[in-house]
Amino acid sequence: AQSVSQHNHHVILSEAASLELGCNYSYGGTVNLFWYVQYPGQHLQLLLKYFSGDPLVKGIKGFEAEFIKSKFSFNLRKPSVQWSDTAEYFCAVNARFSGGYNKLIFGAGTRLAVHP
C-alpha cells in the first residue's frame, strides 16, 4: 500500500534560519508529489507540486522541493524562513488508480513554528 512518511513532527526555528522538511513515500509506480500548507485558522493550500520534468520545483513564498526518485523522497526547503511561515506542512502523493482518478495519500504533517 502507498504511504508517505514525514520525518519531523515538530520543528522550531528562528527567523532567517534555513528549513528542510523530509518526506519519503512508498509507491513503485508513477507518482505526482505535492506539498500542502495549512496556516493557523486557514484551509489547506497547495504550496508546490511535481508532475514531471525538472526534479527541482519552485513553489510560492520562496519554497522549493527536490524529487529524488532513487530515494523516493520529496523534501521541502526554504533558505530563510519568516515568522509568517508558521504553519503545518503536509507532503502528499497522488497515485493514478485503475479507475483513472487520483487519490491523495498524505503524510502525518510537520508543525513548523518560527520565532521572531
Which burial class, exposed, middle or buried, applies to 14 when counting CB atoms under 10 A from its CB (0-12, 13-18, 19+)? exposed
Q: Between 47 and 81, whose beta carbon lies closer to another protein? A: 47
Q: Between 50 and 116, whose beta carbon lies closer to another protein? A: 50
Q: Between 5 and 17, whose beta carbon lies closer to another protein? A: 5
Interface residues toward another protein, by CB under 8 A: 4, 6, 32, 36, 42-46, 49, 51, 90, 92, 94, 96-97, 99-109
> Shortest gap between Cβ of 86 and another protein (angstroms)?
18
Beta strands 45-50 and 64-68 are unpaired
> Shortest gap between Cβ of 42 and another protein (angstroms)?
8
CA 110 from centroid of its chain's CA atoms: 9
> Shortest gap between Cβ of 14 and another protein (angstroms)?
25
